[in-house]
């Protein structure tokens, strides 16, 4: 039997703040395959996430197939908009949700990982981060600041993470991220520069695969997931319509589930995918293959 075996490997999944999204599903799939899992959580969501865990509100979701329970090895505060703590505005550092978490930049995360686990603590890094403050605005109405914020949080953060965490990877390490088909097709309502950010993420994946592969022997891939009605995706404002449209028109007409994305990501980070890098893998029930909707008007 051919199994995904990640026993003895340590994964970091950046972008987990609840049990309802792709980040959590990926973390769980990695744990099912035997990896130990650390997560990075946005500071404003950290206290709520910790409370859910401590009060047992996520116990059912944390249960693995063998009856054991997923326990995160470490939960790190992470704001991936900042490469170093010096980049963070003083007023933000002093704010209620940030003042007690310490260095939550990407560089700070790297320092904490080394302090906790040694010089090369990682085998797998998953970037499950995206944010566009003006995502509900058409591109023509998006401000420069809104556009650049989407690019910073959703695309450059991957570049920064590979740059700072690549040296911490053990041999045959793997990076993975999450993208969306709006990178290459028009999705009306998915605005604010987010489509541009996803296109940049996919382009960067190819170049990072070359550079990180030659420098550290690490692989870099991205998963283009179909629309999924997570709590985070509700910020888009049209997520239910997106899900319904894909379900009605994709080759496979069942709604996409988070575990389906988690399983493919775990595969890409495993030795079974040792020959795959620089690739965008679609997990969208085949919707990306369609050139015309089933209900399109004909002659």
Please enumerate in sequence order all residues whose Cβ is within 8 A of that of 35, keeping only pairs 6 or more positions apart, or say none: 6, 7, 9, 10, 11, 123, 124
Catalytic residue among 98, 147, 156, 180: 180
Instruction: Assess whether 282 carries a catalytic annotation.
Output: no
Return the structure tokens found at 290.
């369609």
Instruction: Assess whether 245 carries a catalytic annotation.
Output: no
The label of the residue with tokens 């007690």 reads 100
**What's the CA gap between 262 and 223, in Å, rounded?**
10
**What's the CA gap between 269 and 26, in Å, rounded?**
10
Pseudo-torsion of CA 138, 151, 123, 109, nearest 10°? -120
CA angle 101, 222, 58 (to 5 degrees): 45
Catalytic residue among 76, 98, 156, 190: 190
Nearest to 204 by CA among 275, 150, 156: 156
Three-class SS of residue 266? helix
Dihedral sign for Cα atoms in the order 271, 225, 153, 102: negative
Q: Which residues are catalytic?
A: 180, 190
């Amino acid at each position: 039997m051919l199994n995904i075996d990640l026993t003895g490997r340590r994964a970091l999944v950046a972008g987990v703040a609840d049990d309802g999204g792709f980040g959590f599903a990926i973390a769980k799939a990695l744990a099912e395959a035997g990896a130990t899992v650390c997560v990075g959580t946005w500071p404003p969501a950290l206290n709520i996430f910790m409370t859910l865990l401590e009060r047992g509100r996520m116990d059912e979701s944390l249960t693995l197939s063998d009856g054991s329970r997923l326990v995160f090895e470490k939960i790190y505060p992470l704001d991936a908009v900042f490469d170093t703590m010096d980049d963070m505005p003083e007023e933000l550092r002093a704010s209620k949700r940030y003042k007690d978490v310490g260095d939550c930049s990407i560089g700070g995360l790297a320092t904490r990982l080394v302090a906790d686990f040694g010089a090369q603590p990682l085998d797998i890094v998953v970037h499950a981060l995206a944010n566009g403050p003006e995502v509900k605005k058409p591109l023509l109405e998006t401000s420069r600041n809104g556009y650049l914020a989407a690019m910073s949080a959703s695309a450059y953060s991957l570049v920064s993470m590979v740059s700072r965490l690549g040296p911490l990877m053990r041999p045959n390490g793997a990076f993975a991220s999450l993208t969306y088909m709006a990178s290459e097709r028009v999705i009306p309502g998915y605005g604010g520069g987010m489509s541009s950010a996803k296109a940049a993420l996919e382009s960067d994946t190819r170049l990072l695969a070359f550079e990180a592969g030659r420098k550290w022997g690490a692989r870099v891939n991205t998963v283009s997931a179909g629309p999924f009605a997570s709590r985070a995706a509700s910020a888009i404002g049209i997520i239910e319509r997106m899900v319904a449209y894909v379900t009605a028109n994709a080759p496979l007409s069942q709604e996409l589930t988070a575990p389906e994305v988690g399983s493919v990501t775990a595969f890409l980070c495993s030795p079974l995918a040792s020959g795959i890098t620089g690739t965008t893998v679609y997990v969208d029930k085949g919707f990306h293959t369609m050139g015309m909707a089933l209900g399109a008007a004909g002659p």
